[in-house]
Amino acid sequence: MQGTQRSSTTLRAASALLLFCAVTACSSRDPISTAQVAQFTLKSIDNHELPYQISQSADSTTTVVLTDLVLSVLEDATWRTSGHERVTTNGVAADQVVQQSGTFVPLETNATFRNADGDIVYMGTFNDSPPIFVLTDSLKRVFLFCGQEVAETQCTLPEPPAPVGRRR
């Protein structure tokens, strides 16, 4: 009986992400495409709210600031992001659309997002209550994406676990 309960619990955890995406998408009135989708808004990078400077040239003549980003997770295990960045070169600013897409693999509460070339774009965790992705990119920046229905007060990074140490 205990083995059956563990298997059942593991199966439920492994499918939680896809199930959430499907349930959320079914309640959406404006799907992005024919596939069902759940959308998450980027709230912070490295615990700093947007806009966030994501790069600067060595000579400081060009900076790139991310102003907004939405992560769409589709039930067919694909994803895409769409947003805007402001590129300033020699004091002249221009807004640009940024987009990326690929596939993702959920494993229990973890997820790995790859681009079309198979390179890892993000790795991280998913929480379904409230719906939040905490993802890390190749530069070790931490991205906090929250479900669009999540209240601002609920959209926070989870507390890290307390360190395990010896008792005296």
Query: What tens digit of pLDDT does each residue of 93-151 get?
Result: 999 999 999 999 999 999 999 999 999 999 999 998 889 999 999 999 999 999 988 88
Contact 81, 113 (CB under 8 A): no
Q: Say what the pTM is.
A: 0.76
Express each pLDDT in 79-89 by its tens digit: 999 999 999 99
Q: Give mean pLDDT, residues 54-70.
A: 97
